[in-house]
Structure formats: C-alpha cells, structure tokens
Structure 1
Amino acid sequence: MKVEIKNEMIPLITEFVAELPLVRKHSRHRRELIKMLSEQYKKVDEQRIEIVKDYCEKDDKGKPIMKGETVQIPDENMKKYLEDVAELKNEVYVIEGGNSRELIRTMRTILLKFEDQEYQGKDSTTYDYLCEQFKVDENEEDE
C-alpha cells in the first residue's frame, strides 16, 4: 500500500485537508498527514532555494544579487533554472506501508465520506487528485 504525491500538490493538499470537518481518529490522521507533507515541503523549498543559488547572479563574494525582494537569474540561465524547478515540482513524495498503512486506510475513508460534497476550482482538482493517489475507487484486495 503506497501513495505518491507530487511535490507541487503538497500545499494544495495540506490546505484542502486542513479545512475538512473531522473528529477523533480522522482528525488525528489528518494532522499526521499534514505534518508529513509539511516536512516534505520544507525540504522541497530548501532544494528550490539551492536551485536559485545555482543559477542566480552573484556578487564578487559569491552572494546572490537581489533587486528588491527577488534574486536575479540571468537570461542565459533561465531555461535550465525553469527545467530544474519543474523537475523538482514533479518529483513524488511516497507514503508507504508500515506505520503509514493505517493513515492511508483512514484517508481513503475520509475521502469517501466527502464523495457527495460539491467542489469547485482548486478544491475539485485537489479532491480528484487525492482520490486518484489514495486509490479510493479500488478495493484494498486489488493491491
């Protein structure tokens, strides 16, 4: 039993599940999922900062040159920078078996519980993505 979540979906998922009205076990597993995803996204953000440092303009001391609040990336580095960031966003975070088995089962139950709810915009996309990743429409015996 495993779930793969793209790094770029982590903020949307975290925000979506945080808003669900849950109690007891469901709420505990939601908090656990949010904690796992938040820790992963912190690592992703640190990696993104390192990518920025690799491609940005630097002063004579090797420090990034800032214009206001933004780091400057030269045009000749922009294509590679964007490719590296896209690659990072598309990498997946895997939640797998072991201690996560019950979390995965509980998340499936939670998603099924909200199956008849109407969603719009990013909530709709996020809910559909979660159902796909947690294999809500599959039987557990299929795994």
Structure 2
Amino acid sequence: MKFEVKNELIAPAINILQKIKLKGLKSIHRSRLKDLLMTHLERVGKEEKELKEQYAKKDENGEPILNETEDGQKFYDIENREDLGKALDEFFNEKVVIDGGDSQVFLKSVKASLETSDVEWSGQESDYFVQVYDGFVEDKNENESDDV
C-alpha cells in the first residue's frame, strides 16, 4: 500500500487526520503519517517560495523585489504572472508518495481508521476526506503471490 496526495492537498490531509479521534496504536500510526506529511508540507512551502523568487523582478543586487500591502503583508513583485501561474499549477498538482516496507502497517491502519471514523464531514472537508481516503492505493504487486 502507498499513500499519494497532491502538494496542494497536504495541509487539508493533515487537518483531516487530526480530526479523527483515535487512541493507542492507531493514534501512533496516524501520527507517523501526519509527521511525514508535515515534513513534505515544509518542503512544499520552501519550494513554492523558490518558484516565486525565480519569477520575481530583481533589484540591482539580484535579490527578489518584495512589495508590501497596506496591512503589512509582503509579496513578490512578479515579472510574468501567467508563467508563474502555470509553474505553480504544475507544482501543486505534483504528488507526494509515501510507501515502502516500513510504512505498510501504519498506512493500512490509518486507512482502516478513516473507514471506521464517526466524524461527520460536511462542505469542503467532505471533499478533502474523499481525496485523502482515495489517496490510499494498493500496490499492484501487493496482492500477487511470489510463487512462480
């Protein structure tokens, strides 16, 4: 089994996992997946910033130009918004894949926990729940016998 989620859905996936009430080993398994997703979320944040810096106008020292809104929020002065938009769309549609021998047990446990969860999802959260649940994918070779 593996877990796949688009970069843009990592934060909602973490939120979905946090809302499920679990205890014992199931809680530990959920925490393992959540911790891995947090690591990927940090990487995605850094890479998004790098992309924006690459498309930003540069000052005389070659540094990206930052502008500020009236309420003090900073943003990059983007040279070509259309190209940045395309790059960000492609980037956010890339998938994070969590798989491997040591993750099999906790991935199966978290999927089972989602199946038995009594949380009532509504609105956009219900859409996120479906996308998270659908992210658990059986490996093609997982159910095949090793017999030749």
TM bucket normalised to smaller = 0.7 to 0.9
SS at match of 2:87: helix
Counterparts of 1:1-143 in structure 2, within 5 Å, are 1-68=1-68, 69-74=74-79, 77-114=80-117, 117-135=119-137, 141=143
Aligned-residue offset at 1:122: 2.1
Letter paired with 1:81 = L
The separation in 1 between residues aligned to 2:55 and 2:125, in whole angstroms, is 34
Aligned-residue offset at 1:141: 4.3
Aligned-residue offset at 1:135: 4.8
SS at match of 2:62: coil
- Is the contact between residue 4 and residue 137 of structure 2 (CA under 8 Å) also seen in structure 1? no
Instruction: State the aligned residue count.
Output: 136
- Is the contact between residue 5 and residue 135 of structure 2 (CA under 8 Å) also seen in structure 1? yes
Letter paired with 2:123 = G
The separation in 1 between residues aligned to 2:21 and 2:104, in whole angstroms, is 22
The separation in 2 between residues aligned to 1:73 and 1:141, in whole angstroms, is 49
Letter paired with 2:76 = V
The separation in 1 between residues aligned to 2:111 and 2:52, in whole angstroms, is 37
Deviation string for 1:69-120 (max 9, x for gaps)? 111102xx11110111111111001111311101111011101112x64311
SS at match of 1:94: strand
The separation in 2 between residues aligned to 1:141 and 1:117, in whole angstroms, is 30
Instruction: Among all aligned residue pairs of Structure 1 and Structure 2, give the percentage whose two residues are the same amino acid.
Output: 28
The separation in 2 between residues aligned to 1:34 and 1:89, in whole angstroms, is 19
- Is the contact between residue 29 and residue 110 of structure 2 (CA under 8 Å) also seen in structure 1? yes
| Root mean square deviation of aligned Cα | 1.8
* Corresponding residue number in structure 1 for 2:71: none
The separation in 2 between residues aligned to 1:13 and 1:4, in whole angstroms, is 11
Structure 1 residue runs of 4+, over 4 Å off? none
More helix by share: 1
Alignment gaps of 5+ in structure 1 = none
TM-score normalised according to structure 1 size:
0.87
